[in-house]
Amino acid sequence: MGPLADIRVIDAATLFAGPSAAMMLGDFGADVIKIEHPRRGDPSRGHGASVDGVGLWWKTLSRNKRTAAIDLSREEGQDLLRRLAERSDVLVENFRPGTLERWGLSPEALLEINPRLIVARMTGFGQFGPMSGQPGFGTLAEAMSGFAAMTGQPDGPPTLPPLAMADGIAGLAMAYAIMVALQDRAQTGRGQVIDMAIIEPILGLLGPQMTAYKALGVVPQRTGNRSSSNAPRNTYRTRDGRWLAISTSAQTIAERVVTLVGRADLVAQPWFSSGHGRVQHVDELDEAVGSWIAARDAAEVIARFEEAQAAIAPIYDVTDIAKDPQYEALGTFVELPDEELGSVTVQNVMFRLSETPGEVRWTGPSLGRHTDEVLTDLGCTAEQIAALREAGVVA
């Protein structure tokens, strides 16, 4: 089922970028085989909230995947991976550079076995360079990309996101890179190696900071909830204590906002005609918008903004998201049966295709749930599987 149903993916990655990329492929039908350590399991099983010891992050991150518990540090486990690679289209891995090579599983060796294989390598700093051998995580990418330096209040410390943001961005980028490589393979018949450093994709989402620095010497500063590109843009508190967010990225929206709050005179100012100009008068604009909002309840403010076709949204927490009618209309969340927890609610696929829609078919399985099934597909007999299990190679 799905447009990627003829693609088999080996997910030998952990925490969280590589597995996210594999998850996205699985959402559209790819046969994703998740490789876990037979005794420790995948680290994401122990991250975040859990129910009766069953990790909920795992349930989402490993949805639509078959899980096989194989010890890749053992010679027998390495042989099983070679046999899997021979029958697969994509291998996603995030071992520290040199690990696969030490195990005799280098991309060159795997491509010799299967010249059509795409080896997607996800590491913190890439496969070469002075930091390539160091452990790398999304937090380090958020620090080194400039994100933390430009996030937070002007008089406060650099601020990290409360989530695996850089990993998520890298996961999206890797899914895209894999699809590009698959398209190239369709034309050439050859696989290739993808080298992605988590520190790089996040840079692209932070805007032209290097371009501006090289051209003008500009170093982005922390502006809180304000923007350095346009104004008014901030969070504002209503009379009844709700927080609302406003965006005026479009000039017409900026004009509607200040007109709505009774300051149409500002539109006539020469500086108002560009986002850069409005930023130079951000205090005046914030005072005009903030005082108008502070004198009204949230429901009235939102209704007036919607009537004026100006851009506004309430600041949500998860309780608001759970009951929002727009998310409900989009089908953003689905509830699925789960063999361990009875049922689990997970986020649906990220976008809708009219002809080949994706689908969340099942949640993250229990450890080793599909080991026998996967090894049987490789031609292993029941006796051989039992021997591997007895030796601790699989679970």
State phi, psi for 123 to the nearest 5 degrees: -135, 170
Using one digit for the tens of pLDDT, what is the confidence trace for 193-209?
Answer: 999 999 999 999 999 99
The residues that bridge with 55 in the sheet, in sequence order, are 50
Catalytic residues: 167
The residues spanned by each domain of the chain are 8-204+329-390, 234-314
Would the pLDDT of 136 be above 90?
no
- Pair 345, 321: CB distance under 8 Å: no
CA 51 to centroid of chain Cα atoms: 23
With beta carbons less than 8 A apart as the criterion, state whether 92 and 175 touch. no
pLDDT at residue 267, as a whole number: 95
- Percent of residues, the chain, with pLDDT higher than 70: 100
Q: What is the pLDDT of residue 1?
A: 80
Please tell me the predicted confidence (pLDDT) of residue 339. 95
Mean pLDDT confidence for 330-344:
97
- Taking only the tens place, the pLDDT of each residue in 147-167 is 999 999 999 999 999 989 999
Scan for tokens 């699989």, then name that residue: 394
Average per-residue pLDDT in the chain? 96
CATH number for the segment(s) 8-204+329-390: 3.40.50.10540
Tokens of 371: 């080991």
Query: CB neighbours of 333 closer than 8 A, spacing ≥ 6?
Result: 327, 345, 346, 347, 348
Give the pLDDT band of residue 128 (cuts 50, 70, 90). Answer: very high
Average pLDDT rounded to a whole number, residues 376-391 = 96
Q: Which two tokens stand for residue 168?
A: 């998520």
| Mean pLDDT (whole number) for 179-201 | 98
State residue 15's pLDDT score.
85
* The residue to which tokens 């380090």 are assigned: 140
Percent of the chain with pLDDT over 90: 96
Sequence-distant contacts of 328-335: CB under 8 A, at least 24 apart: 334/360
**How do residues 339-352 score in pLDDT, each as one tens digit?**
999 999 999 999 99
State the average pLDDT over residues 121-144. Answer: 94
- pLDDT score of 135: 87
The reported pLDDT for the residue numbered 102 is: 96
CA-to-CA dists, residue 50 to 16, 20, 378, angstroms: 17, 19, 34
CA dist list (Å): 239 to 226, 259, 284, 299: 21, 20, 20, 10
Class of the domain covering 234-314: alpha beta
Sequence-separated (6 or more) residues with CB below 8 Å from residue 117: 85, 88, 89, 90, 91, 110, 111, 191
pLDDT, tens digit, 9 for 90 and up, residues 36-91? 999 999 999 999 999 999 999 999 999 999 999 999 999 999 999 999 999 999 99
What's the whole-model pTM score?
Answer: 0.94
- Per-residue pLDDT, averaged over 240-261, amounts to 96
